[in-house]
Amino acid sequence: MNISSAVIKTLPENLTAVKDALVASGLCEIHFEDEQGRIVVSIEGNDDEDESAKLKKISGMANVASASFAYTYRDVKED
């Protein structure tokens, strides 16, 4: 399992709409937002491709100016 944090940016006037869309999407969990339109989320996935696909969907949402990974944790099981 992978867990990553991402920073999403929107215009301040679109903050509520973007937050509502993120919650409704089920793609991530919101942990922080500020009045400048920055939103910090966590994204969980089975692997890198799964997380990247979710971030790509977030990037394509209405009123999202940018979305980028900030930190990634990968659970590596040793044999």
Q: Is residue 79 part of a domain?
A: no
List the 29-33 sheet strands across, edge first. Answer: 29-33, 38-45, 2-9, 66-74
Q: Model's pTM, two decimal places? A: 0.90
28-41: pLDDT as tens digits: 999 999 999 999 99
For residue 74, the model assigns a pLDDT of: 86
CATH code of the domain in which 28 resides: 3.30.70.920
List of the chain residues with pLDDT < 70: 78-79
Range of the domain at 19: 2-74
Q: Is residue 65 part of a domain?
A: yes
Q: Is residue 42 part of a domain?
A: yes
Total structural domains in the chain? Answer: 1
CB atoms closer than 10 angstroms to residue 54:
21
